[in-house]
Amino acid sequence: DTAVSQTPKYLVTQMGNDKSIKCEQNLGHDTMYWYKQDSKKFLKIMFSYNNKELIINETVPNRFSPKSPDKAHLNLHINSLELGDSAVYFCASSAGAGEAEAFFGQGTRLTVV
Amino acid sequence: SQQGEEDPQALSIQEGENATMNCSYKTSINNLQWYRQNSGRGLVHLILIRSNEREKHSGRLRVTLDTSKKSSSLLITASRAADTASYFCATDARNEKLVFGKGTKLTVNP
């Protein structure tokens, strides 16, 4: 069983479109994250949720809107996609915010054309 | 702002050799973690060292932490081709999030 699963794995879309990436964890963790990894492999945190509540929003454009329907799910919706949004997006979860190991999904490679 | 910074950015060694990667950070931490990322995959947790620990071992991995210098090192002994990956350090910031460095790309040649 996959601990943290995100879908889709690949996403190719045109500029201006709206898209969503879904993430689910079956580890019973309270904290979930979204990270963006750029072409230089730099991992930058975007959002952190603890028990469905947003605790970190790292100056991400408001075109990005996370939604956590329950503590096992953290979806990422992106409006009006831009070329610069092309990256690999990783979902992760941990038992505690920052203090415990994080489990990562396999990533979603988003390509905006 | 970025917390961890790995050094070197890239490292190429022969199988059987040891690989050492360093991580420096800026603010005080509760713990420091190391992760591995194989090409095209997600990150996998390797080891966590708490701020009151100085050294930790896990199999062929040895991690040291020097809080006075705000630095950590990851040593992989007797490296194998399968160790080829990018290695990241991550630090917690006020127990709210994990902040990652830019990573060290390790290539182990057979």
Which of A23, A32, A33 minimizes the C-alpha distance to A75? A23
Which chain A residue is nearest to residue B96, measuring alpha carbons? Answer: A97
User: What is the predicted pLDDT for the residue at B98?
Assistant: 83
- A103–chain B Cβ distance below 8 A for any pair: yes
Cβ of B45 and A33 within 8 Å? no
Of A42, A98, A107, the CB nearest to B92: A98
State how far Cα B95 lies from the chain centre: 19
User: What is the predicted pLDDT for the residue at B5?
Assistant: 78
User: What is the predicted pLDDT for the residue at A96?
Assistant: 74
Overall average pLDDT of the A84-91 stretch:
96
What's the whole-number average pLDDT of chain B? 91
- Indicate whether B2 pLDDT > 50: no
A97: confidence class by pLDDT, cuts 50, 70, 90: low
Tokens of B97: 């999030």
